Amino acid sequence: MTTDRSRRDRPRALPVPALLLASVAVAFFSLPLLGLLWRAPWSALRTVLGRPEVRTALRLSLQTSLLAALISVVFGVPLAWLLARVEFPGRSIVRALATLSMVLPPVVGGVALFASFGRRGLFGQYLDRWFGIRLPFTTAGVVVAQAFVAMPFLVLTVEAAIRQLDGRVEEAARTLGAGRWYTFSRVTLPSIRTALVAGAVLAWARALGEFGATITFAGNFPGRTQTLPLATYLALETDPDEAILIALLLIAVSFGVLVGLRDRWLGAAVPGRSKQVPS
C-alpha cells in the first residue's frame, strides 16, 4: 500500500491519449444525464415530486433496495469468503452460478424466479402449500428480485478483496489461537472493509435501479411493488415529462449516495489502517 501511495503523490505529466479517451468516456456517461436535465420540465418539478404516488414509489424503492443490499451482505460475504478461501469441488461452477444473474437479462431473471419461487414454481409451490407464503406480486417479491440481480456485485467485489489479502496474516491469527469466526471478524473483515462497503453500495445501486426482474416477478402495484424505475417506465407511456422528472429523482438519490459514500468511505480509506467511524 505504501508504494501505491507514494506513486500516487508524485506529480507527473498527463498522458494526452489517455486523457482524450477518458474525456470521451466521461462525455459518454454525462451526456445522457445532461440530456435529461435539458429536457426536464422544471416548472412541473414540485407538482410531480409532490405527488403521493411518486413519494410512495421512492419510499418503497429505498426500503426494498436497502433490504436487498442487506440480504446481499448477509449471504454474500460468507459466499465470497468460501469462494476465495476454501478449495472445494465445483468451486468454479458455484462462482459462475453466483454471478449468473449479472449477465442474465433481468427479464429472464424474472422468469427464472417464477419458475423457482412462483406459486407454481419448483420451490415456490411448497412455500405456498406449507407456509402460505407467496412471493409474486408482493413487496417481498421485489426484494427477492432485487437481491437476485444485486448480490453478485457484492460477492465479486468481496471475493476479489479476500483473495488479495495475505492469507498468512489469517493463518498467524489462527496459530495464535484465534478461532475461525474471531479471525474472520477481527482480521479478515477489517482488512476488506473498503471492498465490503464498495460491494454493498454497488449491490444497493443495482437493486435501486432494478426493473426487468421486478416488473416480471413482482408485478406493478403502487405502494406494494411499484418502485421508482417502474413508476418511471409507466409514466413514460403517457407523460414523458413526468417520467423525466421521476428519473432525475432516482438519479439524484443514487448519485448523492455514491458521491457521499465515495468521499467518506472509499476515497480516503486506507485499507487495514485507520478506523473510520461513520457518523
Residues near another protein (CB under 8 A): 105, 107-108, 110-111, 114-115, 118-120, 134, 136-137, 212, 215-216, 218-222, 225-226, 233-234, 236-238, 240
Measured from the CB atom, the residue of 79 and 112 that comes closer to another protein is 112
Dihedral, 129, 135, 137, 140 alpha carbons, nearest 10: 140
Measured from the CB atom, the residue of 135 and 161 that comes closer to another protein is 135
Measured from the CB atom, the residue of 69 and 248 that comes closer to another protein is 248
Least distance (Å) from another protein to the CB of residue 69?
Answer: 24
Torsion sign, CA atoms 154, 222, 53, 112? positive
Torsion sign, CA atoms 78, 80, 84, 90? positive
**Do the beta carbons of residue 228 and residue 249 sit within 8 Å?**
yes
d(CA 156, CA 202): 11
Least distance (Å) from another protein to the CB of residue 140?
Answer: 13
Least distance (Å) from another protein to the CB of residue 108?
Answer: 6
Measured from the CB atom, the residue of 133 and 266 that comes closer to another protein is 133
- Please list the alpha-helical segments (H only) found in the chain: 2-9, 16-39, 45-50, 52-85, 91-103, 106-117, 124-126, 139-164, 167-175, 180-183, 189-191, 193-208, 212-213, 228-238, 240-261
Measured from the CB atom, the residue of 199 and 229 that comes closer to another protein is 229
Amino acid occupying residue 122: L
Find where cell 476515497 sits: 267
Instruction: Pick left, alpha or beta for residue 226 (phi over 0 → left; psi -120 to 50 → alpha; otherwise beta).
Output: beta
Least distance (Å) from another protein to the CB of residue 260?
Answer: 32
Measured from the CB atom, the residue of 134 and 264 that comes closer to another protein is 134
Least distance (Å) from another protein to the CB of residue 277?
Answer: 43
Least distance (Å) from another protein to the CB of residue 106?
Answer: 9
Chain Cα centroid distance, residue 117: 21
